[in-house]
A = this chain, B = another copy of it.
Amino acid sequence: MKKHNFSAGPSILPEYTIKNTADAILNFAGTGLSVMEVSHRDKEFMAVMEQANKLFKELLDIPSGYEVLFLGGGASMQFCMVPYNLMNKKAAYLNTGTWASKAIKEAHFFGEVVEVASSKDENFCYIPKGYEIPSDADYFHITTNNTIFGTEIKEDLDVNVPLVADMSSDIFSRPIDVSKYSVIYGGAQKNLAPSGVAFVIVKEDALGKVDRKIPTMLNYKTHIDNESMFNTPPVVPIFSALQTLIWLKEQGGVKEMEKRNIAKADMLYSEIERNKMFKATVKNIEDRSVMNICFVMNDEYKDLELEFREFAISKGMVGIKGHRSVGGFRASCYNALPVESVKALIDVMQEFEKKH
C-alpha cells in the first residue's frame, strides 16, 4: 500500500534525496567508499559543503553580508546560541507556542527577556498582533511557523530592532526577504534533510556586539571563520541537504514551492471547512500555517476521533495524529509532500463522512 507521509518532522523528503543518499551510502562520488567513511576534508566532501552553501544562498536569494552555517545540535541549541551571541542586556520575544516558549526560557539565562505578546491564553491558536517592541531590545525573536499549533507568520515583519527568526518548519516553503533579518535558523528535518543538522543564516555585522565571552563551539564567529568545518560536520545530513537543494532548484525554487504549498493547503483547509465532521483549530484564516494543518473532530463527532485515526492509518496515512497539546489531527504538508497525498487524505475524510 502506498504510504502518505504527513509526519511533522522528521518528515517526508524528496525521492531524489532518498535515492541519492542511499547510493552515496554505498559509493560516494565514485570513490568506492561510503559517504559515511570518507574524511570531511577530502575534496569530494569539501565540494558537497561548498555546493550546499552556494545553493542555499542562491535559492533564498541571500544578500551579501550574510553567511550560512550548517551546525550540529538542532534548532534547540540555537535557543541558547542566539542570546549567547546577540543579547547584551535585553531581548524581546513573541510567544506563539511550545518552541517559542522554549526559546524564551533559554534567553532568560542571558539577560532580561520581554515577552511582547503571547497567544497562550487561547492555546496558541492565533498569532498575536499590535504588540510593541522595546526600542532598546538587542533583538526581537519570532517563530515563523508553529509546527505544533499550526499557525504561521507568513510575511517578513518590519520591526524597529534586529529581527531573529526560527524558521525550522517553513524555511524554503516561500521566498523570504532575508535582508529584514539578522539571524534565521532552524533544524533541517522538515524541508531540507534528515535530523542532525541545523542551518543558521547570520548577518555578519550583527555579531561582535556582546560583552560576554562565548565558548568556541557556541560562537557563530567560529563557524563563519571555518566555513562550518571547525569540527567534523554531520556529513550525511549535509549530503542529503544538498540533494534536496538540487531538487528544489530543479522544481523551480521557492516561488514554485510557495505556489504548490498554498494550493495543497487551500485544498485541505477547504475540505476541513466543508466536511461537517471536522473543524480547523486555527480560527483566523491569515494565521493558518501552510505547512502544518491542524484540525479536530467537530463537537458532535468527538467520539469518532480514534475511529477516524485508525481508518486513515488503514488507508496509508502516516503521522496525522495531532500533537498532545492540541489533540485531533495534524497534516504536515512540507515541500516534498505531493498533492496526491493531500487528495488521498481528502478522499479518506470524505469516505469517513459518508460512512457516518
Interface of A with B (CB < 8 Å)?
A: 1, 3, 5, 7-13, 17-19, 21-22, 25-26, 31-40, 71-77, 79-80, 84, 102, 105-106, 109, 187, 189, 193-197, 213, 215-218, 230-237, 240, 318-319
Q: Do A76 and B9 form a contact, CB below 8 Å, given A39-B319, A105-B216, A215-B106?
A: no
| A10→B238 CA distance, assembly (Å) | 14
Question: Which of B17, B21, B218, B318 touches A80 (beta carbons < 8 Å)?
Answer: B218
> Can you list the 3 inter-chain pairs with the closest CB atoms, starting with the nearest?
A196-B234, A36-B194, A76-B231
Residues of the B chain whose Cβ atoms lie less than 8 Å from the Cβ of A40: 10, 195
A234 B231 Cβ-Cβ under 8 A: no
> A37–B12 contact, CB under 8 A?
yes
* Residues on B with beta carbons closer than 8 Å to the beta carbon of A73: 71-73, 77, 217
With a cutoff of 8 Å between Cβ atoms, the chain B residues found around residue A235 in the complex are: 10, 189, 194-196
Can you list 30 residue pairs at the A/B interface with Cβ under 8 Å?
A: A1-B32, A3-B31, A7-B37, A8-B39, A10-B37, A10-B39, A10-B40, A10-B232, A11-B39, A18-B36, A21-B25, A22-B25, A25-B25, A35-B194, A36-B240, A71-B73, A72-B196, A73-B77, A75-B231, A77-B217, A77-B231, A79-B216, A79-B217, A84-B215, A109-B215, A189-B232, A194-B234, A194-B235, A194-B236, A195-B232
Mostly, the A contact residues are loop
Assembled-state Cα–Cα distance A8/B240 (Å) = 23
Tallying the copies of this chain within the complex gives: 2
Given A11-B39, A36-B240, 8 extra CB contacts under 8 A: A3-B31, A9-B39, A13-B36, A18-B34, A21-B36, A84-B215, A196-B196, A196-B235
The answer to whether A216 and B106 have CB atoms under 8 Å apart is yes
Please give the distance in Å from A198's CB to the nearest CB on chain B: 8
Contact residues in B for A105 (Cβ distance below 8 Å): 216
B11, B74, B197: the one contacting A37 at CB < 8 Å is B11
Find chain B residues with CB under 8 A from A21 CB. Answer: 25, 36
Which residues of chain B are near A18, meaning CB under 8 Å?
Answer: 25-26, 34, 36-37
